[in-house]
Amino acid sequence: MAEKTDVWQGTMTLMVLRTLEAMGPQHGYGLARRIEQTSGDLLQLNYGTIYPALLKLEQEGYIRSRWGISENNRKAKFYELTKAGQRQVRKAAADWEQTTEILARFLSPAEEA
């Protein structure tokens, strides 16, 4: 089994927003597990990774939270996208696609002259 890796700088926002867009409101623990699952269990998220990101996104107005009851019948804070978050996920995805296209140019074999 491959060793789990840390989350790359600048990708947490996109992963959180995209997961909320795809799945709807999620509590923090469930959101972290879903991101790990989507990565094929190659990423490892802990409380020190996911919750600061959620707090920052909420302060920026991209997500909002409300208290509810989890599937385990426990009190949990659920997060959902705001309208600004819906716009941000599109922008972040476009920015990431552009970045990966640029990096691909450096990683692909040089064309022969």
Supply the pLDDT for residue 66. Answer: 97
**Pair 80, 16: CB distance under 8 Å:** no
Sequence ranges of the domains in the chain: 12-106
- Helix ranges, the chain (H): 12-23, 28-38, 47-59, 83-107
Among 9, 11, 5, smallest CA distance to 93 is for 11
Supply the pLDDT for residue 113. Answer: 44
Among 76, 75, 8, smallest CA distance to 44 is for 8
Supply the pLDDT for residue 108. Answer: 84
CB atoms within 10 A of CB 80: 15
pLDDT per residue rounded down to tens, the chain (113 residues): 456 666 666 789 999 999 999 999 999 999 999 999 999 999 888 878 899 999 999 999 999 999 999 888 999 999 999 999 999 999 999 998 998 999 999 998 776 54
Domain 12-106 annotated CATH 3.40.50.12500:
no
Among 45, 6, 30, smallest CA distance to 80 is for 30
